[in-house]
Every structure is written in structure tokens, then in C-alpha cells.
Structure 1
């Protein structure tokens, strides 16, 4: 049985945008789509049972709204749904274990919405065993495509670039494969971005001070990037790959590069201490500032 694309549903505008994106991605991947609503669990008591029944009814209404949205925009996807009991972080992480990927709604600068607030959002993104894609409210199918010749939005044009933010000190196959496959599914270009900063005088030894402004550093990084990507270019010869090496702060460079992307892909190292979830400063900046869908891919 094929693992599904799973999307967290809570009835918010962000959630519904995530539902539509997830439905399109399920079709692209030829996977089923599963809608999951995490509701708070209450101990069964005489006074608590009506509240539980109301929660189940609200969850059913929320899932039905999402189902109608999917059927209206992506009628051909194989669709199922389920209610799961909280805590929300644990419920969504458990659902992710059997997923191709998990899709969630995101408010960007305002944080996450619905059940995905604060530590819940951080816990899901930082500890999920499978890739997590965050989608902003208002994201539509046309936003994934380049504009038509007259500048108007269109779904008949090609896809915008998939952008991969790569860390050459930690370039992992899981992240590279996800990005190349995303580009293949969209017949899109893959723009691979690496940002580097020259070492400071404090971090260099007495004989290394001349390396601070060495103009050869950028060329060396470009050569390193080309070497890392060669095996993937050979594996995906149909994909046009653009290599971008920029001097600057990684988070700033990546947010700028993603401004016209259909999807931004970043990696996240699996924590050796899962009780202390972290996503790293670059991914944190992307979560809060990037407007296109963001894929966070875990790796060893």
C-alpha cells in the first residue's frame, strides 16, 4: 500500500491552503491524500462527555469542509480522512510515521495557527521522521507557475524554480533527493543555493590572515558544489540545474532566492536529543519569512 500525503486540518485559512497544495502534490506523486484532524482528548466523565461529542462533531464538520475543498479543486485524488486524539504534537508525529510527507498550514511571521501553536509547531517541524511542508494562507495553484506572457497568473505555464538551500558541510542525500525529485515532478529547474561567509580574523591563525579576502574562495566553493551535485545531475539528466554560490548570511540569501520559487527545500538534522527540538537558524528564518511552500527534510 502506498504511503499517503498527509495534511493537518483545523479549518483555518492556512489549513485549507495546505489541503489544496497537498492534494496537488498527492496527484503529482501518484499517492493517496489523507486528511488528519487532531482534537483534544478529555477524560470520560459525566460532565465531559457532551464536550467530547461536540468536539467530534466539530472535527467532522472541519474534515467535511476540507473534503469539499479538495473535490472542488483536485477531484481525481484518492481521499481519506481521520480524527486523531491529542496532544496535537504527538498525534501529528504519529500520523507522519506512515506518511510520504506531512503538510501543514503556516502563518509565517505570525507563527502557526490552530492546533499548531508555539511548542506544538516547533515539535512537529523539528522532530517529524518524514519531510514536512509548510504552506501559507492564500497559496494557490497559480502561484507555483510562472506568469503568462501578459503577466497574469496561470496554471498553463511552466513551474517556477524549485530552490534548494544546501549546506556543503552537511550535504545529505535525503535532502538532495527530495529536491531533485520535486523538480522532476514539476518539470522545473532546480536552483541550488549555497551561501558562504569569509572567516573572521579572530577565527584564523597567525599565518591565515591573508585568506579573509581571498577571491579564490568563491571559485573553490563553486567547484565543491559542482562536485557534490555531479552524481545527482547524472541520476536526473532531464533536470536543468542552476548552481548559485553567494557570499552572505545564509538565511538572508535563501529568503531572497526563494522569492520567486514554487518550493523551497531545506534540510534539518535529526536531533540526538528528541526532547529538545531545534530547527536551526536558517530553517527558522525560512519558516518566518519565506512566502512560497517550504519543505523541511530530516536527515542523519
Structure 2
């Protein structure tokens, strides 16, 4: 059965932007585009589903129902940019302690299709033991912890670097809240990719990202 790219529309501005994004993605992937009007069901052969995000008072309102059986779902903010005005880079938000393989694969493949770099962002936090220091954390301890995070990220990406040898990768380990780290890079990206556990909702990080981003976001369930 041939796979398709699905774009859902309610004739709003945000859904028109989603249809436009989906049409470009269908051309990029060489797949047919299927445009559905709510509440038509998504076809079982959907490769991905593209939805628009409404904005109210400059803040997006998430769709009431995001398909839980389809992965990935791409959410396109209203007025997120015309096809040739946004950069082409792909950003992947990755927890190196619990890497989402489906999200990693989708991000690498998306970068490959666009012929662009994949920027992998791993946000980390100081361990609980850092609170035991009476003053600032010693630089040597911080560097040791950061080196460990860098190694975790490198280990998580090694199989995918081998699978996609032509995709240049920037590994970025930052001491920031995950949503803040991703938002810092979303303005310079064509697509941000995040993983979400099936049955576990979007999670605080993904919800915060969707609330404030101006960039299309792919939510990949695993």
C-alpha cells in the first residue's frame, strides 16, 4: 500500500500554511499528498500527518485532537514563513539518557532529504550532588559532568551517523532547560524534531516548545 503525506485543514490560515508545508514535504519525499477536512479520519497508510497551529493573542492554540496512532505529526505555526524565506537546517531535541530512536531516524532522514546539517541539542542539568556545594560548583566538577553528557550524546548518535554517513551533524550539549534550548535554535531552523512516548502525552518540554515556536515541529511517538 502506497504511503501518503496527510494535511488536515479547517480552512483557517494556520491550516492553509500546514497544507502548503505538507505539499512541499510530499514533493521532497516523492509521495502523494492527501488533504483532509476535519473530521475525516486519517488513512492507515499515512507517512506523516501535518496540522496547523492556531494563534490567539500571538500565542498558538494546540489542536484539540492530535492523532495518537500516527507518527510523526508535524505542527505548523501560523505565518511560520514561506518556503524560501526560512533556513533549511533541521534541529533534533534529544535526551541522551533516554534517546528516542524513532525521532533520531526521522530527524536524520529529514536532514538527508533537505541536503542540510542536523543540529542535535541535548539539554542537561547539574546532578543533585551539585546542591551540596556551599557556593558555586567547582569548574572541574562541572567539566567532568559535561564531558560525561558529551560522551552519552556521541554514543547515542553513533549508529545513526553510520546509517546516514552523508548527513553532517552538529552535536550540542547545553546546560539549559530543554524547551529553552530548543527555542533558542528554532528561529534558525526549517524543522524541529522531538520525541514523545506513546500514551504519555506530549510532555512539558514539547508543550512549551509548541506554545512559543515559530518553526514547524515534528512530534515523533515511540
Provide the C-alpha distance between the structure 2 equivalents of 1:224 and 1:17, rounded to a whole number of angstroms: 37
Structure 2 partner of 1:58:
none
**Structure 1 gap ranges (5+):** 40-83, 85-90, 146-158, 272-276
Equivalent in 158, 172, 178 of residue 244 of structure 1:
172
Matched, 1:282 2:205: yes
For residues 1-45 of structure 1, give each alpha carbon's deviation from its aligned partner in whole angstroms, at most 9, with x where no partner exists.
321000101100000000010000001111000011124xxxxxx
2:2–2:45: 8 Å Cα contact kept in structure 1?
no
Q: 1:198 matched to which residue of 2? A: 126
Alpha-carbon separation, structure 1, partners of 2:221 and 2:117: 23
TM-score, normalising length: structure 1: 0.67
Which residue in the other structure is 1:104 paired with? 51
| Aligned counterpart in structure 2 of residue 253 of structure 1, from 171, 181, 191 | 181
CA–CA separation in structure 1 for the residues paired with 2:181 and 2:17: 26
CA distance in 2, matches of 1:144, 1:103: 18
In the alignment, which residue of structure 2 is the partner of 1:168? 96
Cα-to-partner distance string for 1:193-237 (whole Å, 9 max, x where unaligned)? 000010234988xxxx98995321111111111121111111111
TM-score with structure 2 length normalisation? 0.89
**Per the alignment, do residues 263 and 29 of structure 1 end up closer, same or farther by CA in structure 2, a change over 3 Å counting?**
same
CA–CA separation in structure 1 for the residues paired with 2:95 and 2:52: 26
Q: Which residue of 1 aligns with 2:156?
A: 228
* CA distance 1:194–1:202, shift in 2 (3 Å): closer
Distance 1:96 1:286 in 2: 27
Counting matched residue pairs gives: 214
* RMSD of Structure 2 on Structure 1 (CA): 2.2
Q: Secondary structure at the match of 1:142?
A: coil
Residue of structure 2 in register with 1:296 after alignment? 219
In the alignment, the residues of structure 2 paired with residue 211 and residue 7 of structure 1 have an alpha-carbon distance, to the nearest angstrom, of: 49
Q: Structure 1 residues 7 and 196 mapped into 2: Cα distance closer, same or farther (>3 Å)?
A: same
Contact 1:8-1:37 at 8 Å conserved across structures? yes
Structure in which a larger fraction of residues adopt helix: 1
Q: Which has the higher strand share?
A: 2
Over alpha carbons, which structure has the higher Rg?
Answer: 1
Q: Distance in 2 between matches of 1:169 and 1:233?
A: 18
Distance 1:231-1:201 versus aligned 2 partners, 3 A rule: closer
In the alignment, the residues of structure 2 paired with residue 144 and residue 128 of structure 1 have an alpha-carbon distance, to the nearest angstrom, of 30
Provide structure 2 residue ranges, at least 5 long, that are not aligned to the other structure: none
Higher RCO (Cα < 8 Å, 6 or more apart): 2
